[in-house]
Amino acid sequence: MRETLGWLLTGGAVPLLLAAAGGFFLFDLRGLPLRAPGRMLRAMTAPRSGGVSPFRAVTLALAGTLGVGNIVGVANAIWIGGPGALFWMWVSALAAMILKYAEIVLAVRHRRPAAGGGFYGGAVYYIRDWLSSRRLAGLGAALSAVFALLMVLDALSMGCVIQVNAVASAFEGVSGLPAWLCGGVLMLLAMPVIVRGAGGTSALTEYLIPILTGGYILLSGAVLVLRAGEVGPALASVVRGAFRPEGAAGGVLGFLTCRALRVGTMRGLLSNEAGCGTAPTAHACANAESPAAQGIWGIFEVFVDTILLCTATGLVILVSYPEVAPLGENAVMMSIRAYSAVLGRWAEYFLCAAIFCFGYATVICWAHYGLESVRALSPGRLWRRVYLLLFGLCIPAGAVLAPGAVWDIADFAIASLTAINLAALLALRREVRQETLLWHPPRTPGKGFLLDNSPAPCYNKEEKHGRRNRWD
């Protein structure tokens, strides 16, 4: 019983929840917006002026997902679950795309105007609005507060300690730089940006993330070209390992308890964060054409994060797996050696720099997520200052702490966030349908592509009076 409870609390049920919710939305929306690639491309390329641009918002969200999930998380998944974990990352990406689209649509629809201009919002607000509309304001306030506290816990664990520990481990393993010194440098570089808020953070990520992503893909491509003969066997091992239930009795139970499935899905979720309600905090501030148009950027975000970068890291590790497998206990060095085994010693220093930049971007993004969650809990400045002080202390502490227990805390926080957020997404599905219909109207007037074209209920005063906040 105790082992079963621990399994559930660290994400054992998450693959089932994500698969069920993702399949539901794919069916409910009739495959939209994924089956309308032309409109998706036009929505992403439409010019916008003033405020935080949709592209800047997605780079801020990508800053929170790129990093440990793409480098250390993939290595950790392959070491624990075998090559098949990469397959379940791909499968989870399909559900992740539609779930991230849905949560961003709701975040933009339920966002609030900021006092100094612009917007702020996130899952905390649409959870609160959802229950308040059903005359459960007290429950809505309590559940949104729990969600915000879990966001803060996730920001301190996964968004700070794990990221910093990965960066420190990389530099200590390659150059012998003391872990505490690396943590101190990260703190000095991160805190001045964090205290500037979303504006300063997104201004930095707008330039940093595209450069990092392009450079990492080029480096991974060079490894795969030089080891082209091993790419085919690596892909075959991914497919074979996906359905191998290690330690299970077989059948359906074996499939559901397959370590590759659970670890692959959890690490995929850790990488793209779809369905757990974190990225909507970044997207809510965008000057979007509509909620659905900003939701398209969420699909793009999952594609870049999981399909491109996680696949690149996974294949690089697998084409050199016999050489790097002995380093499996240290996921950071396992990833680094997979590159240097092919490209030479210089690749280790390049990967150290990349891990530092990815980790730095993720730390400042998650600091913003946590800060917004604290603001949702209390509008006063005192608690925000306490949070910033605590986050700043966690940066150097993360460099020297053992990450094992922190991974369990992060898995618990993400699994809990996902359960709450998926319940809200399903409860507010009519809003997602309505916004999708406004973005992609049916060809025949009066005959929609959805099961239910009735308008969604209005959950705020502005919308009831015709001033829909998503357009303001």
Mean pLDDT is highest, among 2-11, 46-55, 410-419, for 410-419
Q: Determine, yes or no, domain membership for 449.
A: no
- Taking only the tens place, the pLDDT of each residue in 136-183 is 999 999 999 999 999 999 999 988 998 898 888 888 887 788 888 889
One DSSP character per residue, 159-198 reads IIIIHHHHHHHHHHHHH---HHHHHHHHHHHHHHHHTT-H
Mean pLDDT of 181-209: 83
Q: Determine, yes or no, domain membership for 350.
A: yes
Categorize the per-residue pLDDT at 49 as very low, low, confident or very high, splitting at 50, 70 and 90. low
- Asked if residue 448 has pLDDT above 60, the reply is no
Mean pLDDT is highest, among 160-164, 401-405, 458-462, for 160-164
Q: In which residue are the tokens 């997902």 written? A: 65
The more confidently predicted of residues 196 and 194 is 194
- Taking only the tens place, the pLDDT of each residue in 237-247 is 998 888 776 43
Give the CATH number for residue 123. 1.20.1740.10
One DSSP character per residue, 108-132 reads HHT-EE-TTSSEE--HHHHHHHHHH
The more confidently predicted of residues 52 and 447 is 52
CA distances from 465 to 106, 440, 459, 461 (A): 19, 24, 11, 6
CA distances from 436 to 99, 119, 133, 139, 432 (A): 13, 21, 21, 29, 6
Rounded distance between C-alpha atoms, residue 330 and residue 4, angstroms: 27
Q: Determine, yes or no, domain membership for 239.
A: yes
Q: Determine, yes or no, domain membership for 458.
A: no
Rounded distance between C-alpha atoms, residue 79 and residue 75, angstroms: 6
Q: Determine, yes or no, domain membership for 459.
A: no
**Percentage above 70 pLDDT, the chain:** 82
What was the pLDDT predicted at 249? 32
- Taking only the tens place, the pLDDT of each residue in 101-111 is 999 999 999 99
Categorize the per-residue pLDDT at 69 as very low, low, confident or very high, splitting at 50, 70 and 90. low
The more confidently predicted of residues 58 and 312 is 312
What was the pLDDT predicted at 40? 85
Report the amino acid identity of residue 112: R
- Asked if residue 71 has pLDDT above 80, the reply is no
User: Is 284 in contact with 198 (CB distance < 8 Å)?
Assistant: no
Q: What total number of domains does the chain contain?
A: 1
- Count, in order, helices (H) and strands (E) of the chain: 24, 2
DSSP reduced 3-state for 214? helix
One DSSP character per residue, 235-259 reads HHHHHHHHT--TTS-SHHHHHHT-H
Domain span at 389: 12-441
- Asked if residue 315 has pLDDT above 90, the reply is yes
Q: Determine, yes or no, domain membership for 185.
A: yes
- Asked if residue 70 has pLDDT above 50, the reply is yes
- Taking only the tens place, the pLDDT of each residue in 335-359 is 889 999 999 888 888 888 888 888 8
DSSP 412: H
- Asked if residue 449 has pLDDT above 70, the reply is no
